[in-house]
Structure 1
Amino acid sequence: MKDNAKTPPDKPKPPFWRGRKLAEFSKAEWESLCDGCGRCCLVKLEDEDTGEIHFTDVGCRLLDVKAARCADYGHRSRRVKDCLRLDPENAGALKWLPPTCAYRLIARGEDLPHWHPLVSGRRESVVEAGISILGRVGPLEDEVSMDEIVEHIVAWPGKVPKAAKKTARKKQR
């Protein structure tokens, strides 16, 4: 006897980042989470008394300001001694990661925002949402003294731009 009942279509597979811990991601999945904004490549200052983080518009010496990317990503830790590598253990705890950082969001159980390239399918969406550092970087760290860096403290790297707030981030299920 033939079963005439239609089988329901397969549900679409959820994106790889939903419902998983960062430690479960492959190297390629991990790297694809970076939206290429460049905010983590800006110099940050920490108040020794309060622990408060102050963002600056001063770029790391390896920052390619035209591409908003590290000019020597593979060797960055050797060339910049205080360059901290993100990993699944520290991504959710680092206070200096911008609130828009995909590693931080996923570590906290949040979804990626609408402008993230993995969601939008377009690298330009990071610039359109005002997340990228393109056109906003001051000098590179080798071009200013430590005393001058404090003159470059800015708030924007620690904030979510209005254009990026179109769709509120939702908790993953």
Structure 2
Amino acid sequence: MTRAEWESLCDGCGRCCLHKLRDEDTDRIAYTDVACRLLDLETCRCKDYANRRRRVPDCVKLTPRRIAAVDWLPPTCAYRLVAEGKDLPWWHPLVSGRPETVHEAGVSVRGRAVAERDAGDFEDHVVSWPGRWPAGARTPPVAKDRRRAG
């Protein structure tokens, strides 16, 4: 896969840009709804992608080799799905042909995330939704309509 192909796997959901907390005793991950300061909460894209690692030193550069070691990627993440040998879902822009489907399916953080500067204590923002598939993201709208009609 070329670098451009690899980069195109990002669906623009912004879930990986939410802060996560790791319990030191259990090593379990807790997702928060607090977005990285570089995440644009409307577009769900990084405001300075080219310089993100300089500006946010703990930002992780995802590579095919690194995916196996990253245990906090959401289950909807295309990088994770490809690594697991799964197909991309209907709402992924590479499948739908439209970047808005990730938002329409309720997968993105749009309207659900809090800006880092406004958050206060991250522990007060622990949520479970980034670690789950949204109900609307499982079945394409056309299939839902057929199911109701039948």
What TM-score results when the alignment is normalised by the length of structure 2?
0.89
- The structural deviation recorded for 1:163 is 0.8
Task: Considering fraction of residues, name the structure with more helix.
Answer: 2
Match of 1:114 among 84, 87, 90: 90
1:23-172 correspondence runs (5 A): 25-140=1-116, 142-145=117-120, 148-166=121-139
> Identity over the aligned pairs, expressed in percent?
58
In structure 2, what residue type is equivalent to 1:128?
Answer: E
Q: Deviations over 1:89-114 (max 9, x none)?
A: 12133111000000001011111111
SS of residue in 1 equivalent to 2:103: helix
Partners of 1:35 and 1:74 in 2: how far apart? 17
Alignment: residue pair count: 140
Runs (4+) off by over 4 Å: none
Q: Deviations over 1:131-151 (max 9, x none)?
A: 0111111131x3444xx1100
The structure that has the greater radius of gyration is 1
What TM-score results when the alignment is normalised by the length of structure 1?
0.78
Gaps of 5+ in 2: 141-150
Gaps of 5+ in 1: 1-24, 168-173
CA contact under 8 A between 1:92 and 1:105: conserved in structure 2? no
In structure 2, what residue type is equivalent to 1:96?
Answer: W
